[in-house]
Every structure is written in C-alpha cells, then in structure tokens.
Amino acid sequence: MTRLSLAASLLALAAASPALAQDKTLTISVYGIAQDAYDVALYKPFEAKCGCKLVIETGNSSERLAKLEANAAAPVVDVIAFSDANALDAAKKGLLAPLDPAAIPSLGQIYDFAKDPVGDNMAVGYTFYGTSIVYRSDVVKIESWLDLFKPELAGQVALPNITTTQGPITLFMLEKALGKDDPDFADAIDLVAEHKGDIVTFYERGSQIPQLLQQEEIMAAVVGRFGWANIAKLGLPVEWAKPKEGQTGGMNVLAMVKGAKDPALAQEFIDYWLSAEVQQKLAEGLVDSPVNTSVKVDDVIAEGLTYGADTAAAIHFLPAEQQLTNREAWLAGWNAKVAQ
C-alpha cells in the first residue's frame, strides 16, 4: 500500500509539473516595432526553453518609463527594453535592479560598449545603430560633418529636429567636427543657426527622407542606419558617408525592474536575447543590428544593418549621462537660435 501511494504521488507530481511550469510568467516591456519577428525569433523559443509564459507590453519609451514610475511600489513589468538614456534615468529614480553578470553568460560574446553602458550593471545593450550622412554622390562628396554646410548643398539638406533621437547626436558630431567640447553644444547650435535658411527641413520622422531624396528636394541628410535600406532601394546614386570624424549612433538596452517577480528568470531571458542564436535570427530578419560578435551575415544583409567590428569601432556614442544632464540646455539653445 505504501509503495502504491508513493507511486501515485509521484505520478500526480509528474502530471502537475507542466502546469506548474506554465504558471511561471515574465512580463516584458518593449518597443512596438517588429513584434511578429520577435515572436518567432525570441518569444516563442524562450517560452519553449523555460516552460514559462511571456506577457508582452508595448509602447514608446516615454510612455513605458512613466508607467514604470507609476507602478514603482508594485511593479507589473520584469524586464524592460529602452534607450540607454532612459535606462540611466530609470536607474537614478530607483526603478531598476542591478544585473548579475554571472547570470548572463552571453555578456562574454558582446561588444564591450554594450556590456555596462549606463554603469553599475543596471543595463546591457542588445542592439545599436550608426548614424551618418546620406548624400547624392553625383552632386557632392561628403568627407566631414561640416560638409553639410558646403555652398553647393545650400537649400538641399535635411537635418533632424532637436526633439528627435537623431537631433542631439547630430549636434554631438558637429561639435566634434568644429574641434569643440562644449556639453551644451553651443558652437554646433550656432553653426546650424547660421545656416538654417539653407536647410530644407528639420525633420521629425526619418521616414520623410526617402521621399525627399526621390523628389530631389534634398541631396544630403543625416539619418540612422536603420533607414538606409529604404534609401538604397530608390535606385539613385546615394552613398552612406564615412566622415573623418567618425559616425555617431545610439543603443537600446535591456534592464531588470526593481521588484521583478523572478530575477533568475528575468536574467535568463536577457541572456537568451543576447545569445548568438537569437541575435543571428534577428540580424538575418533585419530586425536588430547584433551586439553579439559571433553573429555572421552576408554582405546583402550587412548592408541593411550596423554590422561588424570596424563599423562598431567607428561609432561615437553620446554618453547617457550627458544626454540626461544637458538635454534641457540643448533644447533651450535650439529654440532660442534655430527654431525662432
């Protein structure tokens, strides 16, 4: 009888274990783009691997950061993906928990700049992008960020507005090109103000650029690499500049929310997202430029990404701390001199 009871108990436990596993839930807060691709390459494979359920919340950075802050006393999100500056902002507000590098073995495979981009192990980069100048090579040659203001390009240039992601990093590179190092970007703002009459538009959305190029309203523009594929398809003699000062760009990161229900599972998910397996799939789908250095793609796919060690080394990232500290000064300077 005892043996029968024990056997029955073991059978009941075995039958219950899948149900118990399914009770494990991880809530992820992410950008709303490419969710079908993420579902195939990341979400469903991880659920199969961990025997758990992922709940996905989407939205833009500011909305999701505000929600994180509003729910600080009783967090509903376990892992959040957003920009490095947003992560630093959240960390300063006590909304994030530090990651344990030992729990994320994939850290050993990613670029150094992505391993601890905001300090104190509060986040890890999962993708990055370059930003440079696209230009009509039959009209002009771009070898410096200052070439945006060449006389032959007057009235044929588009620049990002200061309120966009690309705006501050454009000023960052103009400041470098001027040989200055003012964190307020005063000299760069003065340069743009001096030539503002020569700028066709200070655009709000990068999706505007292909149409402006196709209609020949512009011959050069500052854009993120993620927009290059649509520009290259135009069939125009357009090139991606490699200015002597280098390129700039941005980084998106993953962070664990303070009060996450299952920190071990949260970090397992972050590790999986950084793995060569997942990063390879996302790169091949042109979803994310990989931070995992083991990822290898062909030249056709690479053309649509920010890819490779040489490219990564040429990117000057605007530090998250500088973004948080100086953004009000940038906006004030821009509004006073450019937007007036």
Q: Tell me: do 180 and 327 sit in the same domain.
A: yes
Q: Tell me: do 194 and 332 sit in the same domain.
A: yes
Residue 2 lies in a domain: no
Q: Which of 130, 217, 213 has the alpha carbon at shortest distance from 166?
A: 130
Q: Tell me: do 191 and 144 sit in the same domain.
A: yes
pLDDT, greater one: 289 or 207: 289
Q: What is the pLDDT of residue 10?
A: 46
Range of the domain at 55: 11-128+251-309
- Residue 26 has phi, psi (to 5 degrees) of -125, 125
Q: Tell me: do 47 and 196 sit in the same domain.
A: no
Q: What is the pLDDT of residue 131?
A: 97
Q: How far apart are the C-alpha atoms of 337 and 340, rounded to whole Å?
A: 6
Q: Tell me: do 245 and 183 sit in the same domain.
A: yes
In order of 88, 276, 303, 332, the CA distances from 184 in angstroms are: 19, 39, 34, 10
Q: Tell me: do 166 and 185 sit in the same domain.
A: yes
Residue 305 reports pLDDT greater than 80? yes
Does this model's pTM top 0.85? My answer is yes
Q: What is the pLDDT of residue 295?
A: 98
pLDDT band for position 290 (cuts 50, 70, 90): very high
Q: Tell me: do 219 and 331 sit in the same domain.
A: yes
Q: Tell me: do 195 and 255 sit in the same domain.
A: no
Question: What CATH number is attached to the domain comprising 150?
Answer: 3.40.190.10
Q: What is the pLDDT of residue 23?
A: 73
Q: What is the pLDDT of residue 16?
A: 43
Residue 6 reports pLDDT greater than 70? no
Q: Tell me: do 260 and 327 sit in the same domain.
A: no
- Number of domains within the chain: 2
Q: What is the pLDDT of residue 340?
A: 79
Q: Tell me: do 203 and 70 sit in the same domain.
A: no
Q: Tell me: do 95 and 137 sit in the same domain.
A: no
Q: Tell me: do 165 and 98 sit in the same domain.
A: no
